[in-house]
Structure 1
Amino acid sequence: MIRVQKRKSNAMAMLIVGACLMILAACSNKNKVPSGVMDHEEMEAVMWDMIQADRYAAISFSGDSLKRNNIKDETLKVYDQVFQIHKISKEEFLKSYKFYLSRPDMLKVVFDSIATKADRRRNEEIHKPDTAKPAPMPPPANPDSTGKLNPARIKSLKDLREMKSEDTSFIPLKKKGPRRFRRPE
């Protein structure tokens, strides 16, 4: 009988210890990243650059028929450049990527951050102030060195006035309806 009680008390103790361990595991930091895996900010930066590399490869190699056939190889070369920039290896990235794939809640945070960054950049581009300078205004009548108006300009203005005062009897008038001409008086 004593043995049965000891077994029950040992089983009960094991159950209590197991429950405590489960509670501690459940209360631990769920967002903790294991060693050898990139943290959230670093993964976001690498993923952003990978997306930009994809865009670059798609745009750059789409027009070149020789490279279009090898676009996958060319894209992998650009990815290698991204890895060099961030000082990581392909294996480190894949290990981190697989970890984040196994944790959709953490991967969602990474992709949400990337989407927010893309939206912010798009809005900055749309609302960028116009840096183009307006066309310069033409200078007024060119005065000569004495500050008077240019005589050639004065002559052309006089000629223009004379042309306006000449007989313009057959110039069509702009009216609604049939075309009518002024008759000389």
Structure 2
Amino acid sequence: MNNRFKALVTGFIFLMAACGDPGNVPKEYIQKNKMSKILVDMTLADAYGNEVSALTAGAVTDSVRQENVKIYYKQILDLHQVSVKDFMASYNWYESHPDRMKDVFEKVQADIANRKNKLGNPVEENAPVKFRMKSFFPNADKAFLLPASDTVRPFIKRQP
């Protein structure tokens, strides 16, 4: 009976070691918080690329827009001090672990929703003039001289 007890305890220890913590990410991969921050920035870069493409009224082809977004992605990875290779390895690992990928995407959604809530309603009093005027004049954005948009600047330096 003593040998059976030792075998049972040894088996239990191996089972516990094999299972590990289901929420943990191995150290060689990007952790959930950092991965979610990277994906938030990439989502914003994608939206920015689409917005610039829409504002140019067809002057930018989809392939050019995709190349610009790739440049933004590389800048984002540089900001987070992550190599493309490490990001892809981590992203592939998360894809093979959907429960952890779900956690990351929930953080991404919460961050973007929080940012959207901070912007508020565009017609509120504290909104920029461009948005407040749209409630009265639908084409108000064309009536003001706005500075030209720089396609590289938004993702070069993050404010602390």
Per-residue CA distance 1:79-103 (angstroms, 9 max, x = gap)? 1111111111111111111111111
Q: What is the Cα deviation at residue 24 of structure 1?
A: 3.5
What does residue range 4-153 of structure 1 map to in structure 2 within 5 Å? Answer: 16=8, 17-26=10-19, 28-62=20-54, 63=56, 64-126=58-120, 130-131=125-126
TM-score, normalising length: structure 2: 0.63
CA distance in 2, matches of 1:88, 1:123: 29
Aligned equivalents of 1:93 and 1:38: distance in 2? 7
Aligned partners of 1:37 and 1:59: how far apart in 2?
32
Q: Relative to 1, partners in 2 of residues 1:23 and 1:83: Cα closer, same or farther, differing over 3 Å? A: closer
Q: Distance in 2 between matches of 1:45 and 1:67?
A: 29
Contact 1:67 1:74 in 2 (8 A): no
C-alpha distance 130-18 of structure 1, shift in aligned 2 (>3 A)? same
Where has structure 1 moved over 4 Å in runs of 4 or more? 12-15
Q: Which is bigger in relative contact order (C-alpha 8 A, separation at least 6)? A: 2
Distance apart, 1:68 and its partner CA: 3.4
Flag the 1:80–1:15 CA change in 2: closer, same or farther, 3 A. same
Q: Please give the alpha-carbon distance, in whole angstroms, between the structure 2 residues aligned to 1:61 and 1:127.
A: 24
RMSD, aligned CA = 2.7
Q: What residue number does 1:137 align with?
A: none
TM-score by length of 1: 0.56
**Counterparts of 1:162-177 in structure 2 under 5 Å?**
none
Aligned counterparts of 1:56 and 1:15: Cα–Cα separation in 2:
60
**How many matched pairs?**
122
> Once the two structures are superposed, what CA deviation does each residue of 1:72-127 show, in whole Å capped at 9, x if it has no partner?
22221111111111111111111111111111111111111111122222222226
1:14: how far off?
A: 9.4
For structure 2, the 5+ residue unaligned runs are: 130-160
Distance in 2 between the 1:74 and 1:30 partners? 37
Normalized per residue, the structure richer in helix is 2
Distance between the aligned counterparts of 1:118 and 1:109, measured in 2? 14
| Distance apart, 1:51 and its partner CA | 0.3
Work out the CA distance in 1 between the residues paired with 2:95 and 2:6: 34
Q: What is the rounded CA distance, in whole Å, between the counterparts of 1:48 and 1:66 in structure 2?
A: 24
Structure showing greater Rg: 1
Give the share of equivalent positions with the same residue, in percent. 22
